[in-house]
Amino acid sequence: MGDPSGGNTLKKTIKLVTLLAAATLVAGVAVAPASNAAKIKACVVLDTGGVDDHSFNAGSWAGAQAASNVATVSYLPSTSSADFAPNIKKFVDQKCAIIIGVGFSISSEIVKAGKANPSIKFAVVDDSALDCNADFSVCNPVANVKGLTFATNEAAFQAGYLAAGYSKTGTVATYGGAPYPTVTIFMDGFAKGVAYYNKVKGKSVKVLGWDPAKPSAGTFVGDFSNTNKALQLSQGFEQQGADVIMPVAGGLGGQTAAESMKSGKSVTIWVDTDGYYSAPQYASVLLTTVAKGLGAAVKSAITDTAMGKFTNAAYVGTLANKGVSMAPLHDFSTKVSSRLQLDVKVIGQKIASGAISVK
């Protein structure tokens, strides 16, 4: 005879399977698996320039998309700063678990929203996101707001050294979109890298557009959307002999690169995301890119929120933690001397170790 308990065991097993199957249907609607049900809603308010700006917005949005295993992600574009507060409000109303603002200029609105909505997590790409009084004499962190910042002057220092060594005319240039600290930090590093090259090589390469000692005299478009002004600045630099130009102006870098391609008088240094991939139409004139780990920082903020590990401790991307970098030379790897390439690599290592200070 067979085991008399075997029939009962089989019946219990069948019943359990049936109950589990039934549990996946509620009123005829399939219930998402637990892994999907646990996903949070992550929302991104873009800066001006569009999601496909081949730069800042694009890199940040790519990071959000990379977190799709733990979050459903969405974004809202901004045509001007007037859109920031309304866009944030829309996402607050949608009950997003985390709202990420892209760019320094949105920071104050994110901080304001964070203070008003303590149950929601917030982050700002490219700012420390502190709550400051009117004259900025007192600034404090907000419990549910995280700053995602980048020491881009470190990688820009390398790029400045590279530009000085590559230049045939002895003149290089840089300009910004607007005089935000997150813009001028690139320009500072670039100019100091050129100065370091001059010091160690006994040269006198000139930098147009920026002098760290005279910030009020810096060259800026005034915004991140005036393509005509960006083109005029690029042409003006070329006329003054600059053969390497670094625009720190988001998508406006395309105007400089297009001018480089047209005139053949200069090459361009891209910023934020490796232009060789994000703006391949300009690859032939892109010497390198001063890159931020935008995607990694955004993905980390979303993932930490989903895992319950979010803190307001500021993230700072550096050469040491690979949060910033000078991108590969790509098509210019055979056009830049091996000695100069080695120098730039060693400089990066010394900055990362603290042997060279860029402050």
Q: Which residues of 166-175 are buried (b: 16+ CB within 10 A; e: fewer)?
A: bbeeebbbbb
Among 131, 113, 130, which residue's Cα sits nearest to residue 122? 113
Contact 174, 190 (CB under 8 A): yes
**Per-residue pLDDT at 15 exceeds 50:** no
Which tens digits make up the pLDDT trace of 175-186? Answer: 999 999 999 999
Among 212, 209, 283, which residue's Cα sits nearest to residue 246? 209
Q: Please report the sign of the dihedral spanned by the C-alpha atoms of residue 259, residue 261, residue 262, residue 263.
A: positive
Which tens digits make up the pLDDT trace of 184-236? Answer: 999 999 999 999 999 999 999 999 999 999 999 999 999 989 999 999 999 99
Q: How far apart are CA 72 and CA 132, in angstroms?
A: 32
Window from 49-63, 94-108, 222-236, 315-329 with minimum mean pLDDT: 49-63
Q: How far apart are CA 35 and CA 6, in angstroms?
A: 35
pTM of the model: 0.80
β-bridge partners, 131: 140
Domains of the chain: 34-150 (3.40.50.2300), 152-291+329-353 (3.40.50.2300)
Residues in the chain: 359
Percent of the chain at pLDDT exceeding 70: 90
CB-neighbour burial class of residue 66 (10 A; exposed 0-12, middle 13-18, buried 19+): middle
Q: Which tokens in the block code for residue 113? A: 């929203």
pLDDT at 37: 52
Q: How far apart are CA 82 and CA 250, in angstroms?
A: 19
Average pLDDT over every residue of 139-153 = 96
Give φ, ψ of 17 to 5 degrees: -60, -40
Q: Residue 305, SS3?
A: helix
**Per-residue pLDDT at 145 exceeds 50:** yes
Alpha helices in the chain (DSSP H): 4-23, 34-37, 56-65, 84-93, 107-116, 152-166, 181-201, 227-239, 253-263, 275-278, 294-306, 338-353
Which tens digits make up the pLDDT trace of 257-308? Answer: 999 999 999 999 999 989 999 999 999 999 999 999 999 999 999 999 999 9
Which tens digits make up the pLDDT trace of 70-94? Answer: 999 999 999 999 999 999 999 999 9
The pairing of strands 131-132 and 139-140 is antiparallel
What angle, 0 to 180 degrees and rounded to 10, lies between the N-to-C axes of helices 84-93 and 107-116? 30
